[in-house]
Structure 1
Amino acid sequence: MTPHPPRPNHPALNTPEPLHAVPLRKQRDYRLLWSARTISITGSEVSKLAVPLTAVTLLAASPSEMGLLTAASFVPALLFGLHSGVLADRLARHRPLMIACELVAAAAAASVPLAWLLGGLNVTWLIIVALIIGTAGVMFRAANFPHIAAVVPPEQRTDAMAGFNASYSVASVSGPGLAGLLVQTLTAPFAVLAEALSFLTSALLLRAIRTPEKNEPAPSHGMWRDVVEGLRASATHPVLRALLGAGVTINFFAMAYTAVYMLYMLKTLDIPQLMIGILIALSGLGGLLGAWSTARLAKRYGENRILLVSVLFFPIEILAVGLLDGPLWWKLSVLALTGTITGGIVVAFATCMGAIVLRDATPQLRGRVNATMTFAVQGVMALGGVTGGFLAELLGLRPVILICAAGIAMSTIWIWTSPLRRLPPASEDELTNNRIYR
């Protein structure tokens, strides 16, 4: 932001207000960055429904083709996740790469309705589009994480992380409904155009940001050595290692749970399909509440304490689902309450995790540490989903649900045995300038 020149005869105005004293909602560049992410993520939520519907209803995709189409969204994170972090750490300016990624993704998404009009759309085209958009997303996220440090002062990064996580909650609530409306009115291929427009709008908003970037590029020792350096920092730094271990543990068992969730809700608990959609929306609403409360609680108690408490609540919803029985009204009441709470807890954990990574990782390693965590957390999701389905075949649905609850509970070991428990909140600001890794 460029401060206005002080007016004469007003001595009090001669000292500009520190940036951290200005609420984030009043900081122009943060609003632009937040708006860009919210619009882009909402567009992606639309395509999560529109693209599969296009494949199934218009292209008669086979089950194997649908499997490849679904996998195409995760493959880029596995192939390019670690390398994207190296690239981000080598850049003096991250915003040009972010804008380029959004423009490439916009062009790829816009090709779907165009190919449909020209009669050339097929499942292979959709898979290629998914790969391109997925790769652009991996590169974008790698650059966006260190870019936050340029736009947001250290004292407000927890608030900023809460705002970005609120974006995901907004998208999860509004995206599916918007997708359904667009598919009904425009047909599935043209609903994908909304994703293209969202990427383009995001690029324009990012282009309008004025904050200069002063990132000092990390010295390069070759791609592989740079990747290993990021892996080593994530695995040897006691706080980062705890966050990495907890994230992998949570996502593995969460995806195993997700693999059997729908079957369990429909076949075992007899929950109506409409109510399942409402319960998912309530989880998104809980995420919004979690973002709002985390930003305020962090100022009073610190990110460490919020992380220590929030991880204790992770197993509650899954445990309740696994033990639930009784009349429909009781099951819906318990699921609504625990789902809303869990939505808030997930956002609280993710917000504080992001803020702590920004705090404890040096600027030269932020991109690689974030990419390492994203790679591990994303990669384990596929393994967790396969494991959950396989175990359900052997043991049944309810035992797998309870196993997942116990597995997620193990994430508390990572957090509670780490320095996060011993570090007094008052010293957290000091770590911004006195990190373990310099």
Structure 2
Amino acid sequence: MKRSFQSSAGPQPLRKQRDYRLLWSARTISITGSEVSKLAIPLTAVALLTASPAQMGMLTAAASVPVLLFGLQSGAIADRLTRHRPLMIACELTSCAAAATVPLAWLLGILNVTWLIVVALVIGTAGVLFKAANFPHIAAVAGPEQRTEAMAGLQTTYSVASVAGPGLAGLLVQVLTAPLAVLAEALSFLTSALLLRTIRTPERNTPAVSKGMWRDIVEGLKASVTHPVLRALLFAGVTINFFAMAYTAVYMLYMVNTLGIPKGLIGVLIALGGAGGLLGAWLTARLSKKYGENRVLLLSVIFFPAEILTVGLLTGPLWWKLLMLALAGTVAGAIVVAFATCMGAIVLRETSPELRGRVNATMTFAIQGVLALGGLAGGLLAELIGLRPVILICAGGIALSTFWIWLSPIHPKGPRPTRPAPPQMPTTTATYMTAKRHST
């Protein structure tokens, strides 16, 4: 029986929709398992394999390399599919198998750092493909009028994982040792695949006719930079991530050396951001229904620099610093989720169905790819001018993202969003539009 989004009384609440609950549960379990491996795999390399600093650098980089190598191609692949869920399941099973080799190789005495790097590359590549397919798949599970709420719910998975993951990771490493704790990640991928397998919602995606990988990628790039709304979101996201990563590069040094925050409390302050994310998802789903995603996005981007500015200007006794950092971190977590949720919903709404995979992949490639540049810039600049000036520069830099949004059709008082003609498509390809979205 085909699932219907509408009834005579209106759409059923998402929390009561079986398939959405399955999708949400699959993502939450999978991401929480990944949080465990973020501690377990580096600990395995350091404690058991005596990895060198260069090897640790390669291991860390292996997690982000697949985005740069395969990010754009993954979107083109997703847009060619009639059904996205089989690819998502295959990606989770591949990641499960790769993660499971870590404890197995350790028990057999053949585990080494190279093995861990290969595992990280495999899981990272599967993750890139999964995300490319998952974005358009949301349109099948949630109706147009519920996609912002669906995006907000999925954003809570990251908040839940950021709160529960580190504690669970520490417990598992303590009880099982680091290599065996990676089994938790393997099991989380397997559980996710099984939950995705039980989703019943039929997919009716009309695949784009391929013109070749490179031309398909160019179409996604062209759509992302020529559509005024998508272009504004793309450049706002790149601006935010560049300066946010520059801030992250000096954050720990600044907290310990400049503000004198006890090291044991830094983890607690970071966890409050995850808790704030849960609050942000709850508020965004409700505010967007009343005011629309455009207004919520605009409000969130205005307050985006608030936490970093607070950190950069903070002085006083320790209790005052901790209080302000706790408040700022919680609010920042809510703002980040609100922005990401509304950004995802607007991208889904503004992008033609046959381009969703490529547009999402283009944005992911650019927004995630700039992280390395931001981190490098933050560290080098801090060497020249000091930690606090870099923090303040980052706050000002993130504030620049406001102009991308305010000067675009996203602004509620700006010009009406008009969709330029999409890249030339065969007449047999569907080009209809849908509503809403949220992201990350």
Fold in common (TM above 0.5): yes
Q: Is the 8 A contact 1:415 1:421 kept in 2?
A: yes
Q: 1:227 to 1:20 in 2, by over 3 A?
A: farther
Give the whole-Å Cα distance in 2 for the aligned partners of 1:199 and 1:20.
35
Q: Which residue of 1 aligns with 2:166?
A: 176
* 1:313-324 map, 5 Å: 313-324=303-314
Q: Which residue of 1 aligns with 2:271?
A: 281
Q: Is the 8 A contact 1:29 1:151 kept in 2?
A: yes
CA deviations over 1:16-67 (Å, ceiling 9, x no partner): 8269520001000000001000000000011001100000000000000000
Aligned with 2:281 (options 280, 291, 306) = 291
* 1:37-436 map, 5 Å: 37-422=27-412
SS of 1:203's partner is helix
CA deviations over 1:247-275 (Å, ceiling 9, x no partner): 00000000000000000001110101121
Q: Is the 8 A contact 2:148 2:341 kept in 1?
A: yes
Q: 1:18 to 1:372 in 2, by over 3 A?
A: farther
Q: Is the 8 A contact 1:20 1:155 kept in 2?
A: no
TM-score by length of 2: 0.93
Give the whole-Å Cα distance in 1 for the aligned partners of 2:184 and 2:243.
33
SS of 1:419's partner is coil
Q: 1:424 to 1:186 in 2, by over 3 A?
A: same
Give the whole-Å Cα distance in 2 for the aligned partners of 1:232 and 1:33.
31
Q: Is the 8 A contact 1:20 1:156 kept in 2?
A: no
Give the whole-Å Cα distance in 2 for the aligned partners of 1:34 and 1:337.
28
CA deviations over 1:161-205 (Å, ceiling 9, x no partner): 000101100000000000000000000001110000000000000
CA deviations over 1:261-309 (Å, ceiling 9, x no partner): 0000011101011211111111100000000010000000000000000
SS of 1:60's partner is coil
SS of 2:206's partner is coil
Give the whole-Å Cα distance in 1 for the aligned partners of 2:111 and 2:221.
40
Q: Which residue of 2 aligns with 1:34?
A: 24
Q: 1:59 to 1:48 in 2, by over 3 A?
A: same
Give the whole-Å Cα distance in 1 for the aligned partners of 2:56 and 2:304.
31
Q: Is the 8 A contact 1:283 1:344 kept in 2?
A: yes
Q: Is the 8 A contact 1:43 1:196 kept in 2?
A: yes
Give the whole-Å Cα distance in 2 for the aligned partners of 1:19 and 1:152.
17
Q: 1:322 to 1:22 in 2, by over 3 A?
A: same
Q: Is the 8 A contact 2:295 2:412 kept in 1?
A: no
Shift of 1:3: 6.7
Q: 1:233 to 1:58 in 2, by over 3 A?
A: same
TM-score by length of 1: 0.94
SS of 1:86's partner is helix
Q: Is the 8 A contact 1:39 1:202 kept in 2?
A: yes
Q: 1:40 to 1:18 in 2, by over 3 A?
A: farther
Give the whole-Å Cα distance in 2 for the aligned partners of 1:53 and 1:312.
39
Shift of 1:422: 3.8
SS of 1:192's partner is helix
Give the whole-Å Cα distance in 1 for the aligned partners of 2:72 and 2:406.
28
Q: Is the 8 A contact 1:29 1:209 kept in 2?
A: yes
Match status 1:23 vs 2:13: yes
Q: 1:383 to 1:303 in 2, by over 3 A?
A: same
* 1:26 maps to amino acid: K
Give the whole-Å Cα distance in 2 for the aligned partners of 1:137 and 1:204.
17
Aligned length: 423
* 2:324 maps to amino acid: V
Q: 1:380 to 1:3 in 2, by over 3 A?
A: closer
Q: Is the 8 A contact 2:82 2:207 kept in 1?
A: yes
* 1:370 maps to amino acid: N
Q: 1:19 to 1:272 in 2, by over 3 A?
A: farther
Give the whole-Å Cα distance in 2 for the aligned partners of 1:257 and 1:200.
35
Give the whole-Å Cα distance in 1 for the aligned partners of 2:81 and 2:72.
15
Give the whole-Å Cα distance in 2 for the aligned partners of 1:112 and 1:19.
51
Q: Which residue of 2 aligns with 1:8?
A: none
Q: 1:425 to 1:179 in 2, by over 3 A?
A: farther
* 2:64 maps to amino acid: F
* 2:225 maps to amino acid: A
SS of 1:420's partner is coil
Q: Is the 8 A contact 2:33 2:188 kept in 1?
A: yes
Shift of 1:386: 0.6
CA deviations over 1:340-368 (Å, ceiling 9, x no partner): 00000000000000000110000000000
Shift of 1:78: 0.2
**Structure number having the greater helix percentage:** 1
Which sections of structure 2, spanning at least 5 residues, go unmatched?
A: 419-430, 436-440
Q: Is the 8 A contact 2:409 2:417 kept in 1?
A: no
CA deviations over 1:194-241 (Å, ceiling 9, x no partner): 000000000000000011110000011110000000000000000000
Q: 1:90 to 1:44 in 2, by over 3 A?
A: same
